[in-house]
Amino acid sequence: MGSIPIRGIWWLWCSGNTTPCGGVIAGSNPTSHPKIVMSITYQPKKKKRKKTHGFLARKKTVGGRRVLNRRRRKKRTKLTV
C-alpha cells in the first residue's frame, strides 16, 4: 500500500491498483465503488505552536522582530499566539 498527496490530503492506494483503498465512500455500495481513506494530517499541539509562532520565537530572529513591529504598528491587541 502506498500514499500520495492530492489537494493537500494524503490518500492511501492499494498496491498494484490505480484505485484508492481503505474506507468506503459515503452513500455508496461498497462492492461497486473504490474505497478511500484520508490520513489526518493536522494534530494540534500547544507546545509546538508556541515554539513556532510564540513571542520568544518571534523575538529571536530579525524576520520575527519585523513581524512584531508590523503588528504593533497596526495596533494589534494580540502580537503572537
Structural domains of the chain ordered from first start: 1-41 (no CATH), 44-81 (1.10.287.3980)
- Given a cut of 50, whether residue 65 has pLDDT beyond it is yes
pLDDT top residue among 29 and 74:
74
Question: Exposed, middle or buried, 24 (CB in 10 Å: 0-12/13-18/19+)?
Answer: middle
* Residue 50 grid cell: 508556541
> Quick one: average pLDDT of 41-66?
96
How far are the Cα atoms of 4, 12, 42, 78 from residue 9, in angstroms, in the given order?
8, 10, 10, 31
